[in-house]
Amino acid sequence: MTEVLVDNWLEEKKRQAKTAYENCPIPDKVSHLWKYSDPECFEYDLKNLPVCSSGKLKLSVSGNLNNVVIMELSEAYKNEKYKELILKYFGKHTESYPNRLALLNESIWSSGYFLCLKKNQKVEEPITVKLSSDGVSDFCAVRNLIVLEEGSSINLIDEIVAENKTPLLINLVSEIFLDKNSKLNYANIQLYSKEVTSHNFQRAKLEEKSELTNVFIALGGKISKVDLGANLSKSHAQVTTYGIVLGDNNQKFDHHTTVEHNAPYTKSDLNFRVALKGKARSAYTGNLKISHEAIKSDAHQENRNLLLSADAKAESIPELEILTNDVTRCNHGVTVGQIDKDQLYYLMTRGLEQGEAEQIIIEGFLEPTLSKIPDKALNEEVSLRIKKKLGVV
């Protein structure tokens, strides 16, 4: 168990969230976000669990940390230098987008970090934040808060490792705030064992001319649900999202993205690629919202699914809400299919075995996203893990 936090404000926030969670009904399985996942899979009984306690993930940070403020979120609040920022931003996204599982997280989180980059600070070398579940069993709630001030930029790699051999439930909430002209390249790498069920809620707010590049890699877990959202709140803000899902056996993945264009000249681009074998399942729903004020918006989303076995299954539902007739672009694309037999035949006529040929096709299918990982060593590690899942190494 984590140490009990003594700050009254955080204690009160947790108590209020716990009450709200207990009074919030479990979502209906036919509701918008829960068409493909059973919400009860992500529930946790708090009756016998005191507020402020849950399993605590181990935090480690690597890279050049000059000009970067990064520490345990609970410790950052105790530091007078950062208390005002945390009071300003903590919980703002969960207030704007309330849901039962975010309330669960807010009532009992014990792990997670606070990252802040001050005005005009630019960090070129990637910073890697690793959260690992060594010694954690049953349940853990993780809370991250990322704040980039005006003109700052950073490459951030968020690696979550859980190699548990017994069932573990992870509830993760990340809040991101990008000020004017700031830029965040954010890679989230999910490396869970097959005993882990997880729910990941992320929301980002982008101010004028700020940029967010989101790279999500999902390789592990028993059941994984991810709910991503970005609010392009001021003009010329832009978000780019790349996703890779690679599933096998009986894994289940459920990804939902929401991009809100709420200002003129905003831009979003999404490319989500899924490869499945065995009896793996994937569901993707992507919602693009362009408000009446968001003239000259440019929005695109694409989801491609590659089925490597007859029993694998992928669902994809793109959704568009356009409230202005003055857009630069707003479109979507979806494909679901098996490996191209002509491509396979061509490679095999060049002397490759079928397994080798399939590997090349799959790696080529995933490469447009893999190439976006902002660190060569991590790119190689993820590529190696993908090959292991494919049975190549």
Q: Using DSSP, how many helices (H) and how many strands (E) does the chain show?
A: 8, 18
Question: Averaged over 356-382, what is the pLDDT?
Answer: 82
For residues 116 and 146, give the distance between their C-alpha atoms in angstroms, rounded to a whole number: 6
pLDDT in tens, 114-138: 999 999 999 988 899 999 987 787 8
Considering only residues 370 and 7, tell me which one the structure prediction assigns the higher pLDDT: 370
Q: Determine the pLDDT at residue 307.
A: 94
Question: Averaged over 39-46, what is the pLDDT?
Answer: 87
- Answer yes or no: is pLDDT of 366 > 50: yes
For residues 197 and 270, give the distance between their C-alpha atoms in angstroms, rounded to a whole number: 25
pLDDT in tens, 167-179: 999 999 999 999 9
Q: Whats the size of the chain, residue-wise?
A: 393
Considering only residues 135 and 370, tell me which one the structure prediction assigns the higher pLDDT: 370
Domain ranges of the chain: 8-389
Burial class (CB in 10 A: 0-12, 13-18, 19+), 352: middle
The residues near 345 (Cβ < 8 Å, ≥ 6 apart) are: none
CA angle 152, 211, 84 (to 5 degrees): 50
For residues 172 and 34, give the distance between their C-alpha atoms in angstroms, rounded to a whole number: 17
Considering only residues 86 and 377, tell me which one the structure prediction assigns the higher pLDDT: 86
- Answer yes or no: is pLDDT of 284 > 90: yes
As a whole number, the mean pLDDT across the chain is: 89
Tokens of 209: 């001319």
Question: Averaged over 203-232, what is the pLDDT?
Answer: 96
- Answer yes or no: is pLDDT of 7 > 60: no
Residue 358 banded pLDDT, cuts 50, 70, 90: confident
- Answer yes or no: is pLDDT of 2 > 70: no
- Answer yes or no: is pLDDT of 52 > 50: no
pLDDT in tens, 371-393: 887 777 777 877 777 777 776 55
CB 222 within 8 A of CB 251: yes
For residues 110 and 105, give the distance between their C-alpha atoms in angstroms, rounded to a whole number: 9
Residue 369 banded pLDDT, cuts 50, 70, 90: confident
Terminal CA-CA length for the chain: 38
pLDDT in tens, 213-227: 999 999 999 999 999
Partners of 170 in the β-ladder: 140, 198
The residues near 280 (Cβ < 8 Å, ≥ 6 apart) are: 247, 248, 249, 250, 251, 252, 253, 312, 313
CB 250 within 8 A of CB 224: no
Question: Averaged over 342-352, what is the pLDDT?
Answer: 90
